[in-house]
Chain A
Amino acid sequence: MKYMDEYRDRDAILRLAEAIRRTVTRPHAIMEICGGQTHAIVRFGLDQLLPDEVTLVHGPGCPVCVTPVEMIDKAIALAAMPDVILCTFGDMMRVPGSEHDLLGIKARGGDVRFVYSPLDAVKVAEENPGRQVVFFGIGFETTAPANALAVKTAAARQLRNFSMLVSLVLVPPAMEAILSAERCAVNGFLGPGHVCTIMGSEEYEPIARKYRVPIVISGFEPLDLLLGIHMCVKQLEAGRCDVENQYARSVARAGNAAARALLQEVFEISPQQWRGLGPIPASGMRLSEAYRDFDAEGRFELAGVVARESEECISGEILQGLKKPCDCPAFGTRCTPDRPLGAPMVSSEGACSAYHRYRPALAPAQTGECA
């Protein structure tokens, strides 16, 4: 298929893997930021093609995984309200909150609907004027513009029954949090292609300079990823720390101006709690003053929602690239997609889900090792 098959050509992939093998002389740990990249790496087995010196570690780029448990609990509380229709993406339906997930609340009578776009939720609001429709808006810079458009559309149509539970996060502050951590194990990054399509590659340049770390903006197909790894390895071997763009067919240095303007109009930067990573300053987005009326947290009484936490799940360390899913003693045993301990096991972009789907044999209980 055009734009897909050419990036999955076996011979080209094997040639590139060989080129990486010839380039590398010492160990490097490269983190891919985006959960979509993690899944492609594990699905196609790209990590198995790499020389031992190159270790891929998985970053916090799964929007479902990093959504704080208290936000999921708030969404669940809203879904349980009789007059509320809660709309969200399918990915969110099975992510565990403190006691329930949205699919469970739906089974108990909550009106939970999964949609393909935030604008679909605006349509639901128009079709149900007697009920409050809340869109649970989560994600990174990639999905944020569609969220902004939904709020702007609802405002233009003067919909009094539409609001948004906002949990939007930004990638660069999370990268800085990882790089600033005492136990940082990352030497280089594959930058998030989809995010950069919106925001551009330029905002990663100060990070590369400040932390002296190479960042290669990469796509999501096997060849994209291997080429990104090769570019990153070449920088590491040469001692360079630049932002390079492997994904030029989609990403411009300044990103998408219209989408950025929309974000600036509807949202403002805010502190944000990340599941697994804790609070990160200036790493989230909340509705700007002009659109604050559409904030579900202001419209509904949600202060009584209390999140419960567990100590068993190690997703925090997984999301920081300090551990791999199969390092977790619960992986594949006490934590499975059917009974997840944490979001990375249930989200379609979660690292644990990728390993469980494509590498279940790596469960420590079965092999005693994490390859």
Chain B
Amino acid sequence: MNGKPAPAIACPLPLPDQGHITLAHGGGGTRMHDLLERVFLKRFRNELGDGQTDAATIAVGEGRLAFTTDSFVVDPPFFPGGDIGSLAVHGTVNDLAMAGAEPRYLSAAFILEEGFELARLEQVADSMQAAALAAGVQIVTGDTKVIERQRGGGIYINTAGIGVVRPGVALGPGAIQSGDRVIINGDLGRHGMAIMTMRAGFDVDTPIESDSAALWPEVKALLDAGIAVHCLRDLTRGGLASALNELSASSGRAIHIAEDRVPVLPAVRGVCEILGFDPLHVANEGRFAAIVAPEDAARAVAILSALHPDAPAADIGAVTDAAERRVTLESVIGVTRVLDMLSGEQLPRIC
């Protein structure tokens, strides 16, 4: 301590702005949102892209096109329930579906590290094609770059997608109204914890499989049934908590959910408890929140549950007209607390 006696009360100075990207900037929480605002939206914001929806929709003739892009850097690239290839298709297809658009065409750009096994690349490509066929999209253009060994993580994929929005469909935070119900299409946390258990080498009695899936069939079923869907949001990085906070902020409305209505598989809950994670903050790749008119909520749950009875949908709460425009949660023991967006990325706790 520089030769001076240590003070009885010790605390550090605030950290100066470090001026470098850290892993916390990629976690889907407040750091990432700050980065998007400070660097990208400050420069790129326009009437079509304001960062508040998963895909931009563009008027073309009498209809609307939806356009989106996403990059996939998952480690490990192969995991229970999927791989980086199927994920790259599902992620972009789902961003289109969240805009109410039927996915049509994808691009696929690969950044490969020198030394990556060709057989594994073929496995990824097979997986992409299977996922594309199942989602009803075609991969119509692409690009490949190779970087030197040890400069990357083996394989990265970027996909962009184009979809078509049917007339009369206009989903977005602006359409959210007080009283709307919050529906989720299944149990939460599987994808994040499947990846985490792989990385940590956990030997779990019940292996956790990713929920990675294309969501358009579910969205289409809701729209076809005439459900008054006001907004959709997939629950990827940052999980349900981040998605609902984004929707609350961009719609200017409060959201209240009940913790015991949120389905989480026992194995997912168990690993989350061990690592100190909250399932509501964990990433999903086949789950979304639908904000629907209250009179349609029960029907929406029934429609979604019928599509995959093994992971039934749930009505977990409502949009409210509370003055505090935030997301609150009634805990399992009946006490209300704030459900905040995660800061940085989730890191396993010590004990």
Contacts and interface: CB of A to CB of B under 8 A. Distances in A.
Contacts of B326: 360-361
B31 interface: yes
Nearest to B343: A337
Contacts of B39: none
6 contacts: A69-B10, A139-B350, A307-B12, A309-B11, A313-B11, A338-B34
A107 B6 contact: no
B20 A108 contact: yes
A313 B12 contact: yes
A8 B266 contact: no
Given A4-B273, A43-B337, A349-B349, A278 B10 contact: yes
A59 interface: no
B269 interface: yes
A101 B15 contact: yes
A93 B273 contact: no
B49 interface: no
B60 interface: no
A90 B348 contact: yes
Interface stretch (A44-52, A154-162, A294-302): A44-52
Nearest to B241: A357
Nearest to A336: B343
A1 B270 contact: yes
A104 B20 contact: yes
Contacts of B16: 99
Contacts of A252: none
B336 interface: yes
| Interface residue tally on A, bucketed by range | 35 or more
A316 interface: yes
A94 B344 CA distance: 9
Interface stretch (A240-248, A257-265, A339-347): A339-347
B21 interface: yes
B117 interface: no
Interface stretch (B22-30, B181-189, B297-305): B22-30
B276 interface: yes
A341 B14 CA distance: 5
B333 interface: yes
A142 interface: yes
B7 interface: yes
A152 to B, nearest CB: 20
Given A4-B270, A337-B344, A358-B337, 13 more contacts: A42-B337, A45-B336, A68-B10, A89-B350, A90-B348, A93-B23, A93-B347, A306-B2, A314-B11, A341-B14, A348-B276, A349-B350, A359-B337
B6 to A, nearest CB: 6
A143 B351 contact: yes
Interface residues of B, number: 47
Given A278-B9, A338-B34, A90 B349 contact: yes
A327 interface: no
Given A1-B270, A276-B9, A337-B343, A99 B15 contact: yes
Given A10-B334, A308-B12, A1 B350 contact: no
Contacts of A45: 331, 333, 335-337
Given A8-B333, A116-B348, A316-B8, A1 B20 contact: no
A367 to B, nearest CB: 11
Nearest to B25: A107
Contact of A316 (B10, B273, B324, B348): B10
A94 B11 contact: no
A14 interface: yes
B10 A276 contact: yes
Contacts of B22: 103-104, 106-107
B340 interface: yes
Contact of B12 (A93, A116, A341, A348): A341
Given A44-B332, A114-B347, A337-B343, A306 B13 contact: no
Contact of B350 (A91, A107, A275): A91
